[in-house]
Amino acid sequence: MDEVIADTTAGMVQWYKKHFGGDIDYTKMLAGGSLVKGFPDEHQEQVRQQLFAAGFFRHLPVMANSVEVLEEMNKRYEVLIVSAATEFPNSLKDKFDWLAEYYPFFTWQQLVLCGKKNMIEADFMIDDHSRHLQYFKGKPYIFTAPHNLNEREYDRLDNWKEVGEVFLG
Amino acid sequence: MDEVIADTTAGMVQWYKKHFGGDIDYTKMLAGGSLVKGFPDEHQEQVRQQLFAAGFFRHLPVMANSVEVLEEMNKRYEVLIVSAATEFPNSLKDKFDWLAEYYPFFTWQQLVLCGKKNMIEADFMIDDHSRHLQYFKGKPYIFTAPHNLNEREYDRLDNWKEVGEVFLG
């Protein structure tokens, strides 16, 4: 969900600019391997706390073209939205409501909220973190995010148009 | 979680007796295949709505011996608590908080909140519903609940002492 269909980085940058107004260093997200590291050192704790706040995940922007591509994929595949969410207990209901609002064609049966993803059995997995892809027994794809640009281990999908080309032909 | 480590039936009966005071027919749970069917016809809709209410899953009684047995199993196995919870969006945070309170040895990485369970890969599954066990590729066990007494398809575990005998030897 985060950084694949939900633009968590954009949502955090919006929140940060409203509250602190400073500059974001996307190259530091890459070096640090997480979005939090892209924010000025003195505000990283507040940024991290925002991930735990009720409401943060409820209004994140959707990734461009993800709705149309997933609506079509949902007709041809058994699609699951698997989100590493239990680290952030206040995100659970927000993620459910967010998915229902922006992707109304998905049912509650298609959402999985978990911690690790190593118990998920499927044919394909699209994720922004190699830590979730590394145990996956199907075909893994890394979805491009500022923090994973140096990852070379997996086939890469840069955006949802590319996902559509791969999965919808 | 429900009917295996959380005594959802007992919690609902407690709530029902407090609000309506009537009698429960456990044989109707069996005939109807769900706990809701055990309550008088005229109150089944209220009982069903209670499953959607915030707070209901937060204070359910724990199943006898489940804490001690799971604490020991957690040292010897990679244990996951997989709950079909997304049908009841208000239960998500309640289930997280309930698990953290009563089973503090589990981490957030061990909780999976889903709809179906057919994407779960594991060696063993203990569940009260055959609909979750039927797609499972590991060894399935049915955990005895009033609604599943007629189920003959799976090896049966009646209580957590039996779980301990099987898994802790």
Q: Based on the domain organization, do A74 and A124 belong to the same domain? A: yes
- Picking from A19, A38, A59, the residue at the C-terminal end of a domain is A59
* Residue B7 pLDDT exceeds 90: yes
Q: Based on the domain organization, do B50 and B95 belong to the same domain? A: no
What are B53-65's pLDDT values in tens digits? 999 999 999 999 9
Sequence-ordered list of residues with C-beta below 8 angstroms from that of A61, at least 6 positions apart, any chain:
A6, A7, A10, A11, A14
Examine residue B1 and state whether it is found in any structural domain, yes or no: no
pLDDT at residue number B95: 98
What are A75-119's pLDDT values in tens digits? 999 999 999 999 999 999 999 999 999 999 999 999 999 999 999
pLDDT at residue number A88: 97
pLDDT at residue number A63: 98
Kindly determine whether residue A112 and residue B119, on different chains, have CB atoms separated by under 8 Å: yes
Q: Based on the domain organization, do B48 and B113 belong to the same domain? A: no
Q: Based on the domain organization, do A89 and A160 belong to the same domain? A: yes
What are B22-65's pLDDT values in tens digits? 788 888 888 887 889 999 999 999 999 999 999 999 999 999 99
B35: containing domain: 8-59
Q: Based on the domain organization, do A118 and A150 belong to the same domain? A: yes
Contact between A87 and A34 (Cβ < 8 Å)? no
Q: Based on the domain organization, do B81 and B13 belong to the same domain? A: no
3-state helix, strand, coil in chain A (%, to 5): 50, 15, 40
Contacts of B120 in chain A (CB under 8 A): 119-121
Q: Can you name the residues that pair with B120 across neighbouring β-strands?
A: A120
What are A38-56's pLDDT values in tens digits? 999 999 999 999 999 999 9
Q: Tell the residue number behind the tokens 């680290």, with chain if given.
A: A87
Number of domains chain A contains: 2
Examine residue A3 and state whether it is found in any structural domain, yes or no: no
User: Starting from the edge strand earliest in sequence, which strands make up the sheet with A155-157, in order?
Assistant: A124-127, A139-143, A155-157
Examine residue B136 and state whether it is found in any structural domain, yes or no: yes
Q: Based on the domain organization, do B72 and B17 belong to the same domain? A: no
pLDDT at residue number B14: 94
Q: Note the ipTM here.
A: 0.95
pLDDT at residue number B13: 95
Examine residue B3 and state whether it is found in any structural domain, yes or no: no
pLDDT at residue number B21: 86
pLDDT at residue number A150: 92
Examine residue A44 and state whether it is found in any structural domain, yes or no: yes
Nearest to B119 among A87, A113, A121 (CB): A121
Show which residues on chain B lie within 8 Å of chain A, measured between beta carbons.
80, 82, 86-87, 89-90, 92-93, 96-97, 107-116, 119-122, 137
Contact between A95 and A111 (Cβ < 8 Å)? yes
What is the pTM (predicted TM-score) of this model?
A: 0.96
pLDDT at residue number B32: 81
Q: Based on the domain organization, do A79 and A46 belong to the same domain? A: no
Distance CA B110, CA B115 (A): 16
Q: Based on the domain organization, do B102 and B151 belong to the same domain? A: yes
pLDDT at residue number A22: 79
Residue A29's pLDDT band (cuts 50, 70, 90): confident
Examine residue A2 and state whether it is found in any structural domain, yes or no: no
* Residue B126 pLDDT exceeds 90: yes
Q: Provide the 8-state DSSP code for A61.
A: P
Examine residue B145 and state whether it is found in any structural domain, yes or no: yes
What are B127-163's pLDDT values in tens digits? 999 999 999 999 999 999 989 999 999 999 999 999 9
Distance CA A39, CA B21 (A): 57
CATH number, domain of A77, equals 3.40.50.1000
Q: Based on the domain organization, do B52 and B102 belong to the same domain? A: no
pLDDT at residue number A34: 83
Examine residue A109 and state whether it is found in any structural domain, yes or no: yes
Contacts of A112 in chain B (CB under 8 A): 86, 112-115, 119
Q: Based on the domain organization, do B38 and B118 belong to the same domain? A: no
Q: Give the DSSP H or E segment for B19.
A: helix B8-19
Mean pLDDT, residues B61-73 taken together? 98
How far apart are the CA of B120 and the nearest CA of chain A, in angstroms? 5
Q: Based on the domain organization, do B144 and B103 belong to the same domain? A: yes
What are A114-153's pLDDT values in tens digits? 999 999 999 999 999 999 999 999 999 999 998 999 999 9
Contacts of B113 in chain A (CB under 8 A): 86, 92, 112-114
Contacts of B119 in chain A (CB under 8 A): 80, 82, 112, 120-122
Quick one: what percent of chain A has pLDDT higher than 90?
90
Residue A166's pLDDT band (cuts 50, 70, 90): very high
Contact between B91 and B85 (Cβ < 8 Å)? yes
